[in-house]
Amino acid sequence: MNDQNHHSLPDRILVEKVLAGDAKTFGIIIKNTEVLVAQIIYKMIAGKEDRKDLAQEVYLKAYANLSRFRFDAKLSTWIARIAYNTSLNHLQKKQLLLMDEIDLSDKMVVNISISEIDLKERSAMINAAIEKLPAVSRTLITLFHQEEISYAEIQQITQLPEGTIKSYLFRARKALKEYILQQYKKEEV
């Protein structure tokens, strides 16, 4: 079987092969999940070295606990949950505040149509605004809007209630809109 066919193997077969001692198959699991894991860690953790260390830690934990995987979720969701929890633990160890709100001015913002901003500038503004969000909000925005993961899967990853996820997403989108409008207004002055 060639490498391309391995990537499309069902989760159960991949896990069984790894548990039977096929270390190469764990490499396939890593390949299949590395973008998602990187997105979660990147959005939650600022330091480049910390990100690398955490990614390694995530896969070490996944490998060590693979026999405990019960197939009640997708393998990628289970590994994403490990990435999320590992990142949260890292932040808690550093005693960072996770839920700080963005310090946005209470000033009224001029009603500007976002379509007036060209696409490249808009993308840069949105990315800069996302980086200003608290770690959990950044992660939720990324998972829902960029990775297009469902509320149910995000709930499995984060262990947050669906209502809390929706609330965080609502507040994050509102903060993003206000931040972007303020930045656009500043550039016009």
In-domain check, residue 105: no
In-domain check, residue 107: no
In a domain, 100, yes or no: no
Q: Three-state secondary structure along the chain?
A: CCHHHHHCCCHHHHHHHHHCCCHHHHHHHHHHHHHHHHHHHHHHCCCHHHHHHHHHHHHHHHHHHHHHCCCCCCHHHHHHHHHHHHHHHHHHHCCCCCCCCCCCCCCCCCCCCHHHCCHHHHHHHHHHHHHHCCHHHHHHHHHHHHCCCCHHHHHHHHCCCHHHHHHHHHHHHHHHHHHHHHHHHHHHC
One domain for residues 125 and 57: no
Compare 173 and 106 and report the one with higher pLDDT.
Answer: 173
Other beta carbons within 10 Å of 24:
10
Do 181 and 134 share a domain, yes or no?
yes
Amino acid (one-letter) located at 75: L
Q: Answer yes or no: is pLDDT of 163 > 80.
A: yes
Q: Which domain holds residue 147?
A: 114-188
pLDDT attached to residue 134:
87
Residue 188, pLDDT above cutoff 60: no
pLDDT in tens, 53-104: 999 999 999 999 999 999 888 999 999 999 999 988 888 776 544 334 334 3
Instruction: Classify residue 101: in a domain, yes or no.
Output: no
Q: How do residues 144-154 score in pLDDT, each as one tens digit?
A: 887 888 899 99
Residue 106 in any domain: the answer is no
Domain count, the chain: 2
Mean pLDDT lowest among 88-97, 131-140, 173-182: 88-97
| Model pLDDT, residue 165 | 92
Position 122 confidence tier, pLDDT thresholds 50, 70, 90: low
pLDDT digits (tens, 9 = 90+) for 6-57: 567 899 999 999 999 998 999 999 999 999 999 999 888 888 888 999 999 9
**CA gyration radius, the chain:** 19
CATH of the domain at 11: 1.10.1740.10
Asked if residue 67 and residue 125 are part of one domain, the reply reads no
